[in-house]
Amino acid sequence: MNIKLRNTLGEIISASIAIIWMYFKLNEAATMSITSITQVLVLGIGISILAAILLSIVISIFSSIITGRYEKNVEDERDHMIELYAMRLNGVIFGISIVIILGLLGWFNLHINFGIIAITLSGFLASISSNFLKIYFYK
């Protein structure tokens, strides 16, 4: 498996771990204070970053053990174009979701707790979808 695919799968798994962890911590979001919700969300973002780093290291080590050689990360113009497409998709999905969430907050009286949670989760979901786009282009 290509090193870029392994890293992308690691990012998807780490974001999924953070989303699942936050889901179980935020099961009573309607009664939680904004302070406790933001603490859970910040911890979830930290868990996602740490999981991505650890998964990258572990996958790299296991790949080197299995193949018996170290694979270098070689990039060309195609890789830069794939990254730009993925960043564009990430920005579009996150931008559209922010507009929808702000509309729900303003006109439909969505509770601010759920607005903060929705903004954070839309960032994670935009990241996951852009990583799936990278996998599509690398295959």
Q: Average pLDDT of 112-127?
A: 94
Q: What is the 3-state secondary structure (H, E, C) of 3-70?
A: HHHHHHHHHHHHHHHHHHHHHHHCCCCCCCCHHHHHHHHHHHHHHHHHHHHHHHHHHHHHHHHHHCCC
Q: Which pLDDT score is estimated for 132?
A: 95
What confidence tens digit (pLDDT) does each residue in 9-25 have? 999 999 999 999 999 99
More reliable by pLDDT, 67 or 127: 127
Alpha-carbon span 55 to 6, nearest angstrom: 9
**pLDDT higher than threshold 90 for residue 1:** no
Scan for tokens 């919700």, then name that residue: 37
For the packed helices 34-67 and 112-138, what is the interaxial angle rounded to 10 degrees? 20
Cβ-based neighbours of 118, under 8 Å, separated by 6 or more: 97, 101, 104, 110
What digits encode the pLDDT tens for the residues 79-98?
899 999 999 999 999 999 99
Summarised one tens digit per residue, pLDDT across range 47-72 is 999 999 999 899 888 888 887 777 77
The first and second tokens of residue 28, run together, are: 């009573």
What residue type is assigned to position 53 of the chain? Answer: I
What is the number of other CB atoms lying within 10 angstroms of the CB of residue 74? 8
Q: What per-residue confidence (pLDDT) applies to 67?
A: 78
DSSP string, 69-95: SPPP----HHHHHHHHHHHHHHHHHHH
The CA distance from 122 to 116, in Å, is 10
